[in-house]
Structure 1
């Protein structure tokens, strides 16, 4: 297979998180426009945004299945996530892309919050057929807790590592990882690169309350680090920035945070030491 790219469409970028079940149509259409003509293997993953997070937060499903009153929220969340998936599919189809939806609840199971089983053969077959698998953050069944939350960022990491992706692109509504939350601290500075030398300080900077059912920027950084430690290049960038997606797909520099693959970083460090 040619180099595989995984693109995560952050829920904060493609929905209005202040209004339940409200898509950001201009951003979704812009993404589809920028993907027009991109012919290399691609897996798309979208976050739930306002189609999932309000219901997960209200029901407490992030802490497991504890009573029957939560069952309705499981059904509603899956219904609304399906709506968002169809909106994205429609935009892609109108621009000549061939997305095929895959719902993680049907191929991933947890045990006490950890992945117990994941079955990716159908996704491999879709890629081999030159289709574009479209996944999303989801609720998944958990053998110990009844139900669990699988974030879009986490599934990007899981699938990326298992399928050998060459790069994972995490699109957000901010330019990347900052020294502090840029939405509340205007003076925060953007961290351009994360390496084995600075990852601990970056991880600390990304922690904090997010109000996001799947962990916000802290979760993105954790999953990006998991990818980088295993040799996969990862970017966190602003999906709303004009043509940023097209530029990064073409290999051009953009404003954002790049997680340098650790294997290549360590190799370069060893080589520089030998030369010294």
Structure 2
């Protein structure tokens, strides 16, 4: 299983007033849909589910966060507030708003901040793999990684790291399939983009815990999607976010955090159903 070919119809860079240059990709034609993913290159999600969104009639917009080339890679740790400020500057400078947003994982955190800070920029949004506080497993994993980086320690053996990623990203039914795990191994073993500031983006995710009051003040129409076997952002946390937002909640069964790989058809159906095209 590999990501579908992803050839953006337009790629450009934008110097932002926040001091970085952002790399942007546009695919397709129709209403604008901004897709914000995890702390990895936008190319990964765009490859797996981008063609489904463009086929549904959207113009898909993806952007590389600060810390992921060819966007600017400042040293040190980042915050979700910085990523959100970059996004606000991009939407205003390129006159892309208001638009619809699908935010996943770290992208869901950024989407929540965007909705809290600038609701005028978003028509409606879908949040996938989201949460308020970090569950124990996610917090410990992030802290251990950041501690290793600070201590200058080497990464775990490649096979150990690959197996850990698989356990954290996918549900037990998929992992019981040799065909699935064999096919997805090449994705799990992909190294970060050269120059990618993984610790900086990991710190942004780890240190962001929006208050219930901040979430409850959001009035933009939202749908929240949880994943039944998600270890990093358990479905219970997604349900809590939906409750605070007074939003629709949907859950994808037999699925872990990596829903865009495990259940791409059902995920894109739930997103496009709510956002329309």
Q: Give the TM interval when normalised to the shorter protein.
A: 0.3 to 0.5
TM-score scaled by length of structure 2: 0.34
TM-score scaled by length of structure 1: 0.34
